[in-house]
Amino acid sequence: MSSFAITGVGELTTEDVEGRVLRDAAVVVEGERVVWIGPSARAPAADRSFDAAGRALLPGWVDSHSHIVFDGDRADEFEARMAGRPYQAGGIAATVAATRAASDKRLEALAAKRAREAALQGTTWLETKTGYGLSVEHEARCARVAARVADDVTFLGAHLPPPGVDVDEYVRLVTGPMLAAVAPFAGWADVFCERGAFTPEQSREVLTAARAAGLGLRVHGNQLGPGQGIALAVELGAASVDHCNHVGPADLDALAGSWTGGGRGTVATLLPACDLSTRAPLAPARALIDAGVVVAIASNCNPGTSNTSSMPFCVATAVLQMGLSVAEAVRAATWGGAAALGRESGDGAIGSITLGGRADLQLLDAPSAAHLAYRPGMALTRAVWKAGRRLDGGGTGSPPRHRRAESVRPEV
């Protein structure tokens, strides 16, 4: 098995159990795993060596919330929203129509392009969802495409009910034939528990059926206003609840309490690019962390409310506008994302640079991670390794591999 060493690392952020930041450090990779971490001068011999020349090395980003399987453009909708004008076009219905009309080849090519764009900005593990098919046939098709381009796949048939369809009848479709068709390709199920989408009772029905089918649980919650999404996610043991723009004291207590007693709790996944794009209140990241809640940061890449896969942008926003330190934001976008997917520990762990963990690494063209927020918007990704394989600047690295795992406003 071949090996390589990255030496001369000016700042090595491990995000491991010890949360170390090492100076003048090195990492040795054998196959897909990290096998040695320590001072650069003591690095063992490897088949190949790469001199980081004082640059910063981080774990690859873990983007635990995206929607990259879609066709269509909604820039007019975005422009109208930014100008404060009402928008009367099709919103999510337009995306569903365009996605259904796209050939399998086109849909996969578009999704693969988005996955490559994310990878070349340092994302080495990508979750994505269905949710733009909203029929048995098209949700299953979107899941098959997602399974070929992403690392974790989430079934989001309960995104929004199609126009003109009785919601309870649609829930029966989601929990019956649609779930059965999608489950072979997905590891997770999600529901948009929000006013104008699915009620807490309907959301519970979706999640309970998904759990019985062997899928892990996720929830879109508390995005548009106070609601029961967070409480439901904690009650059912969901791995994450995402958005969390409106968090009350009881929500804070529930999320923090889910991590006490040594058990696995529910991660609060924050989506800062979506908050900016919708001009929504920013999620209370500072209050969540101060309360002891485990927080993740993800892109929410989707055509309507967050058309970006740039995790560096999300990290910079969390620092500059959400009150997090650089260290907190980087941890949320790496280890936190891994925790939201249940992959932060054990053999082949992601989201950290740890012995035995997967060699998902990114080298910045900067001496420290602070430059992600200090120089916002700059292209600082120098090199990326995914499972020990370096991705080149042309995006011709091997496509991400899946093994099973948007939220938009109701009117979009």
Residue 206 contacts residue 191 (beta carbons within 8 Å)? yes
Residues 109 and 232 in one domain: yes
Residues 164 and 306 in one domain: yes
Residue 281: Cβ-neighbour burial (10 angstroms; 0-12, 13-18, 19+): exposed
Q: How many residues does the chain have?
A: 412
∠ at Cα 37 (34, 41), nearest 5°?
135
The number of angstroms, rounded, from the C-alpha of 321 to the middle of its chain's C-alpha atoms is: 20
Q: In angstroms, what CA-CA distances link 117 with 226, 231, 331, 400? A: 34, 35, 21, 12
Residues 188 and 299 in one domain: yes
Residue 142 contacts residue 69 (beta carbons within 8 Å)? yes
**199-253 tens-digit pLDDT:** 999 999 999 999 999 999 999 999 999 999 999 999 999 999 999 999 999 999 9
For the chain, what is the domain count? 2
Q: Which of 340, 369, 402 is the last residue of a domain?
A: 340
Note the pLDDT of residue 400: 34
- Answer whether residue 138 is part of any domain: yes
Determine phi and psi for 220, rounding to 5 degrees: -85, 120
Residues 56 and 137 in one domain: no
Residues 19 and 77 in one domain: no
Q: Which of 340, 359, 375 is the last residue of a domain?
A: 340
> Which residue range forms the structural domain that includes residue 170?
61-340
Strand 295-297 versus strand 361-364 pairing type: unpaired
Note the pLDDT of residue 408: 23
> CATH no. for residue 327?
3.20.20.140
The number of angstroms, rounded, from the C-alpha of 312 to the middle of its chain's C-alpha atoms is: 13
Residues 323 and 360 in one domain: no
Residues 199 and 253 in one domain: yes
The span from the CA of 257 to the CA of 342, in Å, is 18
Residues 257 and 331 in one domain: yes
- Answer whether residue 158 is part of any domain: yes
Mean pLDDT of 248-271: 94
Q: Is the pLDDT of residue 403 over 50?
A: no
Q: Which residue has the tokens 């699915």?
A: 198
Q: Is the pLDDT of residue 405 over 60?
A: no
Q: Which residue from 360, 380, 382 is spatially nearest to 15, judged by alpha carbons? A: 360
Residues 271 and 159 in one domain: yes
Q: Is the pLDDT of residue 401 over 90?
A: no
Least confident of 76-80, 265-269, 275-279: 76-80
Identify the bridge partners of residue 243 per DSSP, sorted by sequence position. 221
- Answer whether residue 411 is part of any domain: no
- What's the whole-model pTM score? 0.93
Residues 218 and 111 in one domain: yes
Residues 22 and 158 in one domain: no
> CATH no. for residue 25?
2.30.40.10
Q: Which two tokens stand for residue 260?
A: 């006490």
Buried b (16+ CB within 10 A) or exposed e, 11-23: bbbbbbeeeeebe
Q: Which residue has the tokens 């088949």?
A: 47
**95-135 tens-digit pLDDT:** 999 999 999 999 999 999 999 999 999 999 999 999 999 99
Residue 266 contacts residue 241 (beta carbons within 8 Å)? yes
DSSP 8-class letter at 402: -
Residues 218 and 273 in one domain: yes
